[in-house]
Amino acid sequence: MANVQRRIGLLFACAVLALILAGGRELYLGVIRSASLRKDARSQQVTDESIPAPRGTITDRTGAALAISEPAYAITADPYLIKNATATSAQIAEALGSSQAAVLSDLSEQTGFVHLALGVDEARAKALLAYGIPGIEATPVMRRVYPRGALAAQVLGTVGGEGEGLSGLEYSQNSLLDGDAGERRIVRDALGQPISIATARRDRPGATLKLTLDANVQQRTEEVLGAVGDVFHPKDATAIVIEPGTGAVLAMADWPPANLGEATELSTEELQNRAVSFNYEPGSTFKVVAMGGALQQGLITPQTPFEIPEELEIGGRVIHDAEEHPAETLTASQILAQSSNIGAVKIALLEGATQFNNWVHAFGFGSRTGIELPGEESGVTPSPSEYSGASMGNLPFGQGELVTPIQVATAYSAIADGGVLREPHLLASVNGHVVAHGPGHRMLSPKVALELREMLRGPLEPGGTASEVTVPGYEIAGKTGTANKVDAETGEYSNTAFVASFVGFAPVRDPKLLAAVVVDEPQNGSIYGGQVAAPAWGQIMSFALPYLGVSPE
């Protein structure tokens, strides 16, 4: 009996001890650790997800979309959860339309997280998720889409995998285009299935940018450059179309083109915008600097005669014109029309080195134009203190300095616009608000600008360097340029590598449109600006003038 009572007492003591322990445990979990346990529970049942914000739309001046954002998915995987990597990679590759070898390589990584694809459209993402493969997830993202394909690729630029601008306007205007991501809270049950989704913060889309570009003018300009590429097989080529009176850029094209749909495969060189980054010696298009300065200073008139010898020695350097000729007399207008190097030097010598250099900068050379694009070069213009004895024998006709196509187009736009140098621009409005651009500043008098415009008819008239180029219905003016490139190995001017260019405007009396074409190292047939670049200019202007409603004369 005593043994039974002892056993009962022992069981009772054990029961009491168990109750005490249970109570202590409850106190520990319910009071001491309650906060941390609630936090852990929430972390397993409640998750906050980012809602990607649409990147701002980019349109042309008519509102036609050039770059838009649309919902997509980023596909990720946990390789440790993949049972049969070979079979699974085949399923994934089929759903995503990608290479099985690439997917298998990703799934073979010794890690718990890999990116399989970015910017996958909804249909493909759902097709993949339908397989129910463990470890495969699809996260909502936004992807950049370019409705016009390769159109204006180097101007628009590219966007990286995280939605950040990497080049072009996508980079320089990233702060405007980049929206603010939203946030949503998802509550899941014990099996991980969502039972409620609530928006904690709405996303804010990026700004809509309307450009001054005209998609149709841009398209035609790119087609013309494509034809130049097919015929002359140059290293590259660029063209710019501008409204002289406003500085608005209607087209900015590069050849070879770049397909933004394959941005990840494009090199830095392919995405380079040569209109703002190509430094080159301008050749004869630079002759308007000395000519315009001398006219403005009253040193010459368009009819001032100059004796042009067969050759001219300056600082130990002998200068020739492009074509051999006996000694002759040319007026200033004829010097420009026939592109006489000797004549340009003689006019610059009337100004002197210091004043000539002042005019170089007055025309905008040696400084960035300020256009809203990254990577703009300022060119290279030596100061008079850096001149050699021969510098005034080559600088006036475009040797010894470096310029960019946008600088040349801007300088000639000032001549076309009555002597006012304006900042070229691409942005027309942001979210419907017009972007204000400066009024520019006068660098030539209206009288001198008119004289220059009339003188620039010469290269396109009989006997001029681009006499075969016409734009039916319009009076046109412009200047050719053909410049030897410097051989990087020898440091001497090459006899085989040239830059051919042409810049001009129309109508002459009241210019509404200007275009510049620069062709780097044409290979097939001619290397001259009048035969390579000028015809392309004529084709661009023949389309753009009537298309834009400029009345024929």
Each domain of the chain, given as residue ranges in start order, spans 48-211, 215-258+272-547
Among all chains, which residue has been given the structure tokens 């205007």? 173
DSSP assigned state of 408? H
Distance between alpha carbon 534 and the CA centroid of its chain, in Å?
Answer: 24
Residue 508: Cβ-neighbour burial (10 angstroms; 0-12, 13-18, 19+): buried
The pairing of strands 136-145 and 513-520 is unpaired
**Could you give the 3-state DSSP secondary structure of residue 253?**
strand
DSSP state of 436: P
- Find the angle CA(402)-CA(520)-CA(469) to the nearest 5 degrees: 105
Q: Kind of pairing, strands 58-59 and 209-211? A: parallel
Q: Are 184 and 200 in contact (CB under 8 A)?
A: yes
What is the predicted pLDDT for the residue at 118? 78
Q: How far is 271 from 150, CA to CA, in rounded Å? A: 11
Note the residue count of the chain: 553
Q: How many Å is the Cα radius of gyration of the chain? A: 34
**What are the tens digits of pLDDT across the range 486-500?**
988 888 999 899 999
**Topology agreement, domain 48-211 and domain 215-258+272-547:** no
User: Which stretches in the chain have pLDDT values below 70?
Assistant: 1-45, 47-51, 182-200, 262-265
Sign of the C-alpha dihedral computed for residues 423, 425, 429 and 430 taken in this order: negative
**In this predicted structure, what is the pLDDT of residue 313?**
93
* pLDDT 10s digits, 97-122: 888 888 888 888 877 788 888 778 87
Task: Name the superfamily (CATH) of residues 48-211.
Answer: Penicillin-binding protein 2a (Domain 2) (3.90.1310.10)
pLDDT of residue 360: 98
Name, in order, each residue with C-beta under 8 angstroms of 528's C-beta and a sequence gap of 6 or more.
465, 480, 482, 500
Phi and psi for 464 in degrees, rounded to 5?
-85, 175
Rounded Cα–Cα distance for residues 362 and 289 (Å):
9
Return d(Cα 384, Cα 442) in angstroms, integer.
Answer: 24
Instruction: State how far the Cα of 163 lies from the Cα of 170, in Å rounded to an integer.
Output: 10
Mean pLDDT, the chain, rounded, equals 89
Q: Whole-angstrom Cα distance, residue 23 to residue 30?
A: 10
Q: What share of the chain is helix, strand, coil (3-state, %, to 5)?
A: 40, 25, 35
What separation in angstroms does the CA of 55 have from each of 158, 170, 259, 497? 12, 10, 20, 43
Cβ of 299: how many Cβ atoms within 10 Å? 15
Cα-Cα-Cα-Cα torsion 276, 278, 279, 282, nearest 10 degrees, comes to -90
Q: How far apart are CA 133 and CA 149, in angstroms?
A: 34
| Angstrom distance (rounded) from CA 74 to CA 138 | 6
Query: What is the percent of the chain where pLDDT is above 70?
Result: 86
CA gap 279, 462 in Å, rounded: 32
140 in Cβ contact with 245 (< 8 Å): no
Alpha-carbon distance of 210 to 148, in angstroms, equals 15
Q: Cβ distance 287 to 279 under 8 Å? A: no
> Smallest Cα–Cα separation from 516: which of 495, 541, 499, 537?
537
Q: Which residue has the tokens 């010598």?
A: 349
* Residue 525: Cβ-neighbour burial (10 angstroms; 0-12, 13-18, 19+): exposed
CATH of domain 215-258+272-547: 3.40.710.10
Closest CA to 85 of 113, 63, 61, 109: 109
Exposed, middle or buried, 377 (CB in 10 Å: 0-12/13-18/19+)? middle
Classify 537 as helix, strand or coil: helix
> Who's near 30: CB < 8 A, 6+ residues apart?
none
Q: How many helices (H) and strands (E) does the chain have?
A: 18, 21
155 vs 178: CA distance, rounded Å: 17
Alpha carbons 415 and 455: distance in angstroms, whole number = 11
What's the distance, CA 384 to chain centroid?
Answer: 34
